[in-house]
Chain A
Amino acid sequence: MAQTRRFELAISPHVGSPQTTRKIMFDVVIALLPALAAATWFFGPGALLLVALSTATAVGVEYICLKFMKRPVSFAFDGSAVVTGILLAYNVPPGVPWWLPVLGSAFAIAVGKQAFGGLGHNIVNPALLGRAFLMASFPILMTAGWAAPESWRTGEDCGWDTNAIVQEELAILPGADAISGATPLNVLKQTFDLDESSRTALAEGETEVAAELEARAVSTRSALSSSGTYANLFLGRRGGCIGETSVLLLLIGAVYLFARGVLEPRLPLSYLGAVAVFAWIFGGSGWFDGDPLFHVLAGGVVLGGFFMVSDMVTTPVTPKGRIIFGIGAGLITMIIRRWGGYPEGCSYSILLMNLVTPLIDRFTKPKVFGEVKSNG
């Protein structure tokens, strides 16, 4: 009989798939990079710098928090802080001072993530919580820091034709000329205000003024729904937050994630689908006359759909729950866009849905194998 040998014990299974949390996080970082190129192209190196500062802050603050709480500091380098840092910067306007994303990023990590117990334990998306914090604390900076695309290079105030038309149309509104490189969603929101003013004018019997206001609203909306606008939105020539500019480059990142098996399609598709459907139903001035394509391309829903609605930690794990989450976030996004106090509702909608994620998981518990038939 051969000499017996001793071995280490371990729990089965003894093999594991090669995918790890760290690899997933770095895949997300890679998928976010094309959009960074777009941000740099359209908004200049300043945007790149903001992203870099935000990311460095996120990792730094995570490290300090872990150290402080005597937890393994290696978690700071698992890539999740990098993702949060990038996303926070992607959600601020390009024209903000450098300390704003730094502050937001620090808040996101310290309060949005580590206070809850770190990766996997946070209830809401840390980057979006950081952004909400900035919105609440610095509302002016967060809504006025828009830059016209490519203006940093061309020196022109606005390189976007449609925007110019819109500027003209809106000149009638008090204070409207202060909008420089406003986002397309701002413009849309203004047309709803025009509708409102028109109705007021009508009520006061000023038929002519009412008709003129209404005509401006209609022509502005048709300018927004033109193929030129679509192309600009798709390529990224628009005002907006740093990361949301180029739909094309965001999609390239999304395809990469999907190919790597990191992106689960239910969440983003149900979200974007819901945005499109609700946009059509009530995203225009009346009912069933909205422009789904404009609403999907404009603002942050593509960024949000593929990188924040799809955030694993803060969204449901059940297949049905994911679809419900996507539809719910899409509905809230469109309600805010149409009737809310802000032109864009993407990030708040996701935050709100994050809060009900545990509830969704509970109520969408999949039917266990054999349960259906045994009960029948």
Chain B
Amino acid sequence: MTKPSTFRGGTHPPGHKDLSSGSPIVRLPAPEVVTVPLCQHLGAPSKPVVTKGDRVVRGQEIGAQNGFISLPTHSPVNGTVKDIKDLPMPHRRSGPAVVIETESEDGGCVFEPWSDHASHSPAEIIDRIKQAGVCGMGGASFPTYVKLSPPPDKTIDTLIINGVECEPYLTADHRLMLENPSDMILGMEMLAYALGVERCMIGIEVNKPDAIELLESMGVSVVPLKVSYPQGAEKQLIDATVGREVPAGGLPMDVGVVVQNVGTAAAVACAVRDGMPSMRRIVTVTGLGVASPGNFEACVGTPFSDLIEAAGGYSGDVERLISGGPMMGMALFTDGVPVTKGTSGVLALEPGEVREVSEGPCIRCGKCVDVCPIRLTPSIIATAAEYERWTIARDFGALNCMACGTCSYVCPSGRYLVHYIKRAQDAIRAMGTGKEA
């Protein structure tokens, strides 16, 4: 094998993936009560179209798309709407959700199954992906159909499937590639068809040799990537796989590329071939704080506490509960929050796994500068932010920060660099003078 590709910068946190990478995906039945968030995707929450007391069937639209960057939401079960209200969420403090009492979990094929997607037009495929509520399943939850509808002046020539899974601990995408490669490949073909591109490839870090081998044997063009965080960040992945640098402040489509996560590809296959809305996803439940870490396929709206129970319950002293990976995931104050389409992992970490925080002054060691994949100068931006010198923060490119956390990870002084930089971003945007490049 040739030397795996990579991007400039980055770091290599311990993976801890072996905790769960050997556990096959276990399908969990729907819980007695599902709490279906209406804000699972990035953008405007969908508008509820059911009311308390309504009977709903599986796959039924319970929230309507509300704007361009928005998606419809579907009920993952047959049952009765108990309530519609704001509840704690894993990816934000709280958000609107439909609480449904489950009766059963069958049916759900609300759209016509299309066994041969090529007999439908790309526009029809894209519309189906929208109707099915598919959004990016790698973490950012951006509506997939939007990425498939570039403005006419952009020509897309490459589709990259993101199988990197560079966040430590997470193994959901890895297991999906091993256990259901055919759905993923079908979804990839559909996405390529919808975009009208010939060239598609999948980027996988070399710490998943079994997945690389399997997909290569199935005829997929795989780009093996060096294990380095954040290899799976869109711009870094594009740089590593096709050597194109997305302009600062620009989008992948500016260099003719669309990136989709492996889980998204599989969801696309279900939506088009089976007529199934996006209602389930694979979640890695792991960390030393759970008894038997594993990968679970759960329907959206399943409370995290159920997932923890499925993984054998808490073991020992749990210092922190996280939705997502340890680098960019959100700390939760309760395990009562529901799974969303973007929930890639639930981490219960013991005190020894979590970074001890005692923030010190910046000793200007420059490590953050060396690792920043965007080539920012986090130390200077953060110090400027501390003293509210927003123009300095802006001049050093604060707006380009993607909050990957690599700088904070390496900082020997434990500085909350991402936090300061986000503050600077808010302030710069509020100033209204933020030039984007």
Q: Which residues of A contact B (CB under 8 A)?
A: 1-17, 19-21, 23-24, 78, 80, 118-121, 264, 312-319, 322, 361, 365-375
CA of A333 to CA of B260 in the docked complex: distance in angstroms?
Answer: 55
Cβ contacts under 8 Å, B246 to chain A = 369-370
Taking a contact as CB atoms under 8 Å apart, the answer to whether B168 and A318 are in contact is: no
Which of B73-81, B265-273, B402-410 is the interface stretch?
B402-410
A15 CB to closest chain B CB (Å) equals 4
Select which of A10, A12, A314, A317 is within 8 A of B380 by beta carbon.
Answer: A317
Taking a contact as CB atoms under 8 Å apart, the answer to whether B360 and A367 are in contact is: no
Taking a contact as CB atoms under 8 Å apart, the answer to whether A372 and B245 are in contact is: yes
A176 CB to closest chain B CB (Å) equals 44
Taking a contact as CB atoms under 8 Å apart, the answer to whether B364 and A319 are in contact is: no
B38 CB to closest chain A CB (Å) equals 21
Taking a contact as CB atoms under 8 Å apart, the answer to whether B355 and A120 are in contact is: no
Cβ contacts under 8 Å, B330 to chain A = 12
User: A8-B331, A14-B331, A24-B365 known; A369 and B377 CB under 8 Å?
Assistant: no
Cβ contacts under 8 Å, A19 to chain B = 367, 410, 412
User: A14-B326, A118-B361, A312-B365 known; A317 and B377 CB under 8 Å?
Assistant: yes
Select which of A1, A78, A80, A361 is within 8 A of B377 by beta carbon.
Answer: A361
Question: Per-residue 0/1 for B304-324: is the Cβ within 8 Å of any A Cβ (1 yes, 0 no)?
Answer: 011011000110001111100
Q: A74: nearest residue on chain B (CB-CB)?
A: B358
Taking a contact as CB atoms under 8 Å apart, the answer to whether A21 and B366 are in contact is: no
Query: For this complex, into which size category does the number of interface residues on chain B fall?
Result: 35 or more
Q: A375: nearest residue on chain B (CB-CB)?
A: B437
Does B353 reach chain A (CB closer than 8 Å)? yes
Cβ contacts under 8 Å, B396 to chain A = 365
Taking a contact as CB atoms under 8 Å apart, the answer to whether B308 and A2 are in contact is: yes
A279 CB to closest chain B CB (Å) equals 28
Taking a contact as CB atoms under 8 Å apart, the answer to whether B322 and A14 are in contact is: yes
Q: B413: nearest residue on chain A (CB-CB)?
A: A21
Select which of A8, A17, A80, A322 is within 8 A of B409 by beta carbon.
Answer: A17
Taking a contact as CB atoms under 8 Å apart, the answer to whether B400 and A11 are in contact is: no
Cβ contacts under 8 Å, A15 to chain B = 13-14, 168, 326-327, 353-355, 409
CA of A80 to CA of B410 in the docked complex: distance in angstroms?
Answer: 19
CA of A374 to CA of B244 in the docked complex: distance in angstroms?
Answer: 11
Across chains A and B, which 8 residue pairs bring their CB atoms closest together, nearest first? A374-B247, A16-B355, A120-B361, A13-B405, A4-B336, A370-B248, A317-B366, A2-B305
Cβ contacts under 8 Å, A319 to chain B = 366, 369-370
Question: Per-residue 0/1 for B382-407: is the Cβ within 8 Å of any A Cβ (1 yes, 0 no)?
Answer: 00000000000001110010000100
Taking a contact as CB atoms under 8 Å apart, the answer to whether A312 and B363 are in contact is: yes
Taking a contact as CB atoms under 8 Å apart, the answer to whether B380 and A370 are in contact is: no
Taking a contact as CB atoms under 8 Å apart, the answer to whether A370 and B364 are in contact is: no
Taking a contact as CB atoms under 8 Å apart, the answer to whether B336 and A7 are in contact is: no
CA of A121 to CA of B386 in the docked complex: distance in angstroms?
Answer: 13
Q: A13: nearest residue on chain B (CB-CB)?
A: B405
Taking a contact as CB atoms under 8 Å apart, the answer to whether B437 and A371 are in contact is: yes
Taking a contact as CB atoms under 8 Å apart, the answer to whether B332 and A7 are in contact is: yes
Does B66 reach chain A (CB closer than 8 Å)? no
Select which of A12, A17, A264 is within 8 A of B331 by beta carbon.
Answer: A12
CA of A179 to CA of B273 in the docked complex: distance in angstroms?
Answer: 93
B255 CB to closest chain A CB (Å) equals 8
Cβ contacts under 8 Å, B368 to chain A = 317
CA of A67 to CA of B100 in the docked complex: distance in angstroms?
Answer: 60
Cβ contacts under 8 Å, B376 to chain A = 366, 368
Does B374 reach chain A (CB closer than 8 Å)? yes
Cβ contacts under 8 Å, B13 to chain A = 15, 17
Cβ contacts under 8 Å, B410 to chain A = 16-17, 19
User: Could you name 13 residue pairs across A and B whose Cβ atoms are closer than 8 Å?
Assistant: A1-B303, A2-B309, A7-B333, A8-B320, A13-B328, A17-B412, A19-B412, A24-B365, A316-B366, A317-B377, A373-B245, A373-B247, A374-B248
Q: B32: nearest residue on chain A (CB-CB)?
A: A1
Taking a contact as CB atoms under 8 Å apart, the answer to whether B418 and A361 are in contact is: no
Cβ contacts under 8 Å, B356 to chain A = 16
CA of A372 to CA of B245 in the docked complex: distance in angstroms?
Answer: 9
Does B357 reach chain A (CB closer than 8 Å)? yes
Cβ contacts under 8 Å, A366 to chain B = 369, 375-377
Does B284 reach chain A (CB closer than 8 Å)? no
Cβ contacts under 8 Å, B373 to chain A = 369
* Given A5-B335, A9-B331, 7 extra CB contacts under 8 A: A2-B305, A7-B332, A11-B416, A16-B408, A17-B412, A24-B363, A369-B400
Taking a contact as CB atoms under 8 Å apart, the answer to whether B414 and A369 are in contact is: no
A71 CB to closest chain B CB (Å) equals 11
CA of A372 to CA of B248 in the docked complex: distance in angstroms?
Answer: 9
CA of A365 to CA of B393 in the docked complex: distance in angstroms?
Answer: 12
A364 CB to closest chain B CB (Å) equals 9
Cβ contacts under 8 Å, B339 to chain A = none
Taking a contact as CB atoms under 8 Å apart, the answer to whether A2 and B306 are in contact is: yes
Taking a contact as CB atoms under 8 Å apart, the answer to whether B335 and A369 are in contact is: no
Taking a contact as CB atoms under 8 Å apart, the answer to whether A11 and B366 are in contact is: no
Cβ contacts under 8 Å, B248 to chain A = 368-371, 374
Cβ contacts under 8 Å, B326 to chain A = 12-15
CA of A8 to CA of B333 in the docked complex: distance in angstroms?
Answer: 6
User: A6-B334, A7-B331, A374-B250 known; A13 and B363 CB under 8 Å?
Assistant: no
Select which of B366, B374, B411 is within 8 A of A368 by beta carbon.
Answer: B374
CA of A3 to CA of B368 in the docked complex: distance in angstroms?
Answer: 41
CA of A7 to CA of B369 in the docked complex: distance in angstroms?
Answer: 33
CB-contacts of B236-261 with A (<8 A): 239, 245-250
Cβ contacts under 8 Å, A1 to chain B = 31-33, 303, 305-306
